[in-house]
């Protein structure tokens, strides 16, 4: 039997986890619509790939922009929410605007995007919403109050949304990776240790996404938690 060809919207497709997911899906013959704030980052023209420029932090613009996106790509039947930002520090170190911005990108924008796309997804024979959470969605950590809150919020949202979609063909899944070797750490004071066993690779998360999309339509994979074999955090000098 021919594998089903999906049309997948991937946010954060310009870098790290989202980029790897997009590349893997394209390799498997799916159609990918990749979101970035700056489409010049997509340097290679690829068959079956369409770039879309969208700043997910601009909440007031989102309903209109997503409507336009759906007009252009009516066949979307899966969404991978990988856009996000890592910002760490004590609550007192965060400014009020940083708190608002982190919650907006990591949580509220995902809810807006979901709300806008859900009616059309419910009309498909089968569709998937796959969110990239984090190990920070499972346990609060020092210096992670706001980041963890944003990821806990995503986890609560997906649990409730799964119930909400329980009578439809929409499947809701959350992937919670530990440290993944990406540009996420470029502006942070720490990163995974140097050994291969200290970090997940973006390709590992991409493989999990493909597993979810390829799973039998009559089951839902609720959550996947992934960790490096040996967790080592290296502080930059
Ligand atoms: N790396 C890790 O250790 C790790 C672990 C657990 C969970 N995660 C989660 O995985 C997701 C992806 O992280 P990553 O490691 O792949 O980081 P990354 O390499 O820094 O990629 C982040 C992506 O988010 C996009 N993005 C940022 N702000 C945006 C905005 N306002 N509008 C639209 N897109 C925006 C970026 O695209 P543009 O800059 O092109 O707009 C980029 O493609 C995040 O949700 C992160 O919290 C990461």
In a domain, 227, yes or no: yes
Read off the CATH number of the domain in which 137 is found: 3.40.50.720
In a domain, 189, yes or no: yes
In a domain, 226, yes or no: yes
In a domain, 1, yes or no: no
CA atoms within 13 A on the CB side of 143: 7
pLDDT at 163: 97
Q: Which of 3-12, 157-166, 174-183, 224-233 has the lowest mean pLDDT?
A: 3-12
Q: What is the pLDDT of residues 168-213, one digit of tens each?
A: 999 999 999 999 999 999 999 999 999 999 999 999 999 999 999 9
Going from the Cα of 34 to the center of ligand 1, the distance in angstroms, rounded, reads 13
Going from the Cα of 4 to the center of ligand 1, the distance in angstroms, rounded, reads 28
What is the span of the domain harbouring residue 159? 7-235
**Ligand 1 neighbourhood includes 84 CB (under 6 angstroms):** yes
The residue among 195, 167, 214, 180 whose CA lies nearest residue 12 is 180
**Ligand 1 neighbourhood includes 112 CB (under 6 angstroms):** no
Q: What is the percentage of the chain residues whose pLDDT exceeds 90?
A: 96
Residue nearest to ligand 1 atom 17, measured at CA: 184
pLDDT of 58 strictly over 60: yes
In a domain, 24, yes or no: yes
In a domain, 2, yes or no: no
Cα angle 61, 65, 66 (rounded to 5 degrees) comes to 120
- The Cα-based distances of 24 to 21, 49, 208 in angstroms read 5, 12, 11
Q: What is the pLDDT of residues 16-31, one digit of tens each?
A: 999 999 999 999 999 9
DSSP-assigned letter for residue 147: H
Ligand 1 closest atom vs CA 177: 6
Ligand 1 closest atom vs CA 181: 1
Higher per-residue pLDDT: 71 or 3: 71
Q: What is the pLDDT of residues 165-176, one digit of tens each?
A: 999 999 999 999
In a domain, 39, yes or no: yes
pTM, rounded to two decimals = 0.98
Report strand pairing: 49-53 vs 170-177: unpaired
In a domain, 96, yes or no: yes
Please give the average per-residue pLDDT across 157-171, as a whole number: 97
pLDDT at 237: 81
What is the residue-averaged pLDDT of the chain?
Answer: 96
Quote the number of domains for the chain: 1
Most informative mutation of 11, 13, 15, 150 for ligand 1 (most atoms within 8 A of CB): 15
**Ligand 1 neighbourhood includes 134 CB (under 6 angstroms):** yes
Please give the average per-residue pLDDT across 215-228, as a whole number: 97
The residue among 101, 23, 19, 109 whose CA lies nearest residue 66 is 109
Q: For residue 11, list its beta bridge partners.
A: 35, 81
**Burial track 73-93 (b if 16+ CB lie within 10 A, e otherwise):** eeebbbbbbbbbebbbeeeee
pLDDT at 64: 97
pLDDT of 2 strictly over 70: no
Going from the Cα of 162 to the center of ligand 1, the distance in angstroms, rounded, reads 23
Cα angle 228, 232, 234 (rounded to 5 degrees) comes to 130
pLDDT at 4: 79
pLDDT band at 1 (very low <50, low <70, confident <90, very high): low
Tell me if residue 195 falls in helix, strand or coil: coil
**Ligand 1 neighbourhood includes 87 CB (under 6 angstroms):** no
């Amino acid at each position: 039997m021919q594998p089903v060809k999906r049309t997948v919207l991937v946010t954060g497709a310009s870098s790290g986890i989202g980029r790897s997911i997009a590349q893997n899906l394209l390799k498997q013959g799916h159609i990918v619509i990749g979101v970035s704030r700056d489409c010049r980052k997509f340097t290679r023209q690829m068959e079956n790939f369409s770039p879309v420029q969208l700043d997910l932090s601009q909440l007031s613009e989102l309903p209109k922009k997503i409507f336009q996106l759906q007009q252009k790509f009516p066949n979307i039947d899966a969404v991978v929410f990988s856009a996000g930002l890592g910002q760490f520090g004590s609550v007192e170190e965060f400014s009020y605007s940083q708190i608002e911005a982190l919650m907006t990108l990591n949580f509220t924008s995902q809810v807006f995007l979901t709300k806008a796309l859900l009616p059309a997804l419910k009309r498909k024979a089968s569709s998937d919403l796959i969110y990239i959470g984090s190990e920070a969605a499972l346990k609060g950590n020092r210096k992670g109050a706001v980041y963890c809150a944003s990821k806990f919020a995503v986890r609560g949202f997906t649990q409730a949304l799964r119930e909400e979609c329980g009578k439809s063909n929409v499947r809701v899944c959350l992937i919670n990776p530990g440290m993944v070797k990406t540009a996420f750490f470029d502006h942070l004071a720490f990163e995974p240790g140097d050994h291969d066993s200290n970090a997940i690779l973006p390709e590992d998360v991409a493989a999990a996404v493909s597993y979810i999309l390829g799973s039998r339509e009559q089951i839902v994979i609720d959550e996947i938690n992934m960790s490096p074999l040996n967790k080592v955090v290296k502080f930059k000098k």
